[in-house]
Amino acid sequence: MCGRYALTSNLDELQARFNFEARDLEYHPRYNIAPTQRSLVVTNDGSRRAQEMRWGLVPFWSKDIKVGSKMINAVGETASTKPAFRAAYKKRRCLVLANGFFEWLKDGKARIPYYLHLGGQPPFAFAGLWETWKSPDGMGEGETVKSFTILTTQPNRLIEPIHNRMPVILSQETEALWLDPMTEDSEILNKLLAPAPAEYMAGYQVSQVVNSPRNSGPECIQTVECVEPAASDGAPISFG
């Protein structure tokens, strides 16, 4: 699962890394992006374009935007066949830009937040799906909302002690294929939804300040004294 993440790079760095157009885009780094909030995604309709969408996919056929809060993630193994996601899986894939994400380790009654990222904390892309939804108002002029979801997969060795799922982090090589509007073969696309190699990732414990979506400053990703989680074999996982 991925329920919070951060996008901290500046716009110039993101444009250089992901090669997108950013017309009329009002962007600023954010350190604690939460469901139903708007965040930056990249789509491809012949050229790459960055735009802000609402986190939590609302299927085009839904009667209520609130359903999006239950669709912040899509299970990668079944997304191509689930009614809520299969049309977007074929036609409306996107890159969800991030520098890291949060997961909470259960320790008795406590939940300890960790910030997970690629080594060096460069920007990367989650595999995402997006939709356009128009609210039914009986007059044909309802609100139009673009929304997205993040696909998840099995955890790698780093994430497994904390959570049984992790978001799909695409490599630079697989980003182009994921975005390619001419690719619709689910067998090809499904192969991209693998866990990122643990050796390319790192993480550290952060403070409880990240628990509230009202907090969105740099303090959300500052390290605190770490309680090391244990791997499935009982050995501690190093977060370097």
pLDDT tens-digit map of 149-177: 999 999 999 999 999 999 999 999 999 99
- What would the mean pLDDT of 66-77 be, rounded to a whole number? 96
Is it the case that residue 136 has pLDDT exceeding 90?
A: no
Q: Which distant-in-sequence residues (6+ apart) come within 8 Å of 39 by Cβ? A: 7, 30, 33, 52, 53, 55, 96, 97, 148
Percent of the chain with pLDDT over 90: 83
Identify the DSSP state of 11. Answer: H
Is it the case that residue 237 has pLDDT exceeding 60?
A: no
Long-range CB pairs of 162-165, under 8 A, 24+ apart, other chains included? 162/103, 162/104, 162/105, 162/114, 162/229, 163/1, 163/103, 163/104, 165/1, 165/73, 165/75
- In three-state secondary structure terms, 149 is strand
pLDDT band of 234, cuts 50, 70, 90: very low
Least confident of 18-32, 41-55, 132-146: 132-146
List, by residue number, the catalytic residues: 2, 103
Partners of residue 111 on adjacent β-strands: 106
Is it the case that residue 131 has pLDDT exceeding 50?
A: yes
Is it the case that residue 224 has pLDDT exceeding 60?
A: yes
Compare 233 and 73 and report the one with higher pLDDT.
73
pLDDT band of 51, cuts 50, 70, 90: very high
Quick one: which of 3, 106, 94 has its CA closest to 42?
Answer: 94
Quick one: which of 137, 115, 136, 101 has its CA closest to 3?
Answer: 101
What domains, with CATH codes, occur in the chain? Answer: 5-221 (3.90.1680.10)
**CA atoms of 207 and 37, how far apart (whole Å):** 21
pLDDT score for 108 = 87
Pairing of strands 166-167, 169-170: unpaired
Compare 26 and 79 and report the one with higher pLDDT.
79
- What would the mean pLDDT of 21-36 be, rounded to a whole number? 91
Q: Which helix (H) or strand (E) holds 113?
A: strand 110-118
pTM: 0.92
**CA atoms of 192 and 190, how far apart (whole Å):** 5
Chain centroid to Cα 121, Å, comes to 15
Is it the case that residue 240 has pLDDT exceeding 80?
A: no
pLDDT score for 167 = 98
